[in-house]
Structure 1
Amino acid sequence: MALMITDECINCDVCEPECPNDAISQGEEIYVIDPALCTECIGHHEVSQCVEVCPVDCIILDPDTTETKEQLYGKYLALTGRAQQVPQG
């Protein structure tokens, strides 16, 4: 699953710079996480960095974006350009 930021966000600005995939940005009222870019830090870190630094614990799993750890790792590979290329045959 990708992560999401709840409306308890206090706009403290600590999560955005911690995201290795640039998935966090300022929304209309609070910070938001782009599920297409969020890998829960799989491939980069052992734990989700935004969750680690959030002072109000407002970053949770997004119930609308169900992904396995394998899918998240595949997304990481694609985002970082490390996905294996299929040989042309």
Structure 2
Amino acid sequence: MRIEVDTDRCEGQAVCVGLAPAVFALDDDDEYVRILVDEVPAEHEKRARKAVEKCPMAALREV
């Protein structure tokens, strides 16, 4: 699975980072979330999907 971030919507609230820290991180300025992996490893898919679902700004999507 792959995930994309819509940086126009992302406010860096980092809910996704808390749910899936192996997949998401804040950028150097703590403004936007960045994806740490090209393909989400199978062992992290459940948490990554929860992060997409729980994003308060709906800035994440599975592709």
Q: How does 1:3-42 map to 2 (within 5 A)?
A: 3-7=3-7, 8-19=9-20, 22-28=22-28, 29-36=31-38, 38-39=40-41, 41-42=44-45
Q: Matched residue of 2:14: which SS? A: coil
Q: Who is 2:56 aligned against?
A: 55
Percent of aligned pairs sharing the same letter: 17
Query: Which one has a larger percent helix, Structure 1 or Structure 2?
Result: 2
Structure 1 unpaired stretches of 5+? 63-89
Structure 2 unpaired stretches of 5+? none
Q: How many residues align?
A: 59
Query: Which one has a larger percent strand, Structure 1 or Structure 2?
Result: 2
TM-score (norm 1): 0.52
TM-score (norm 2): 0.68
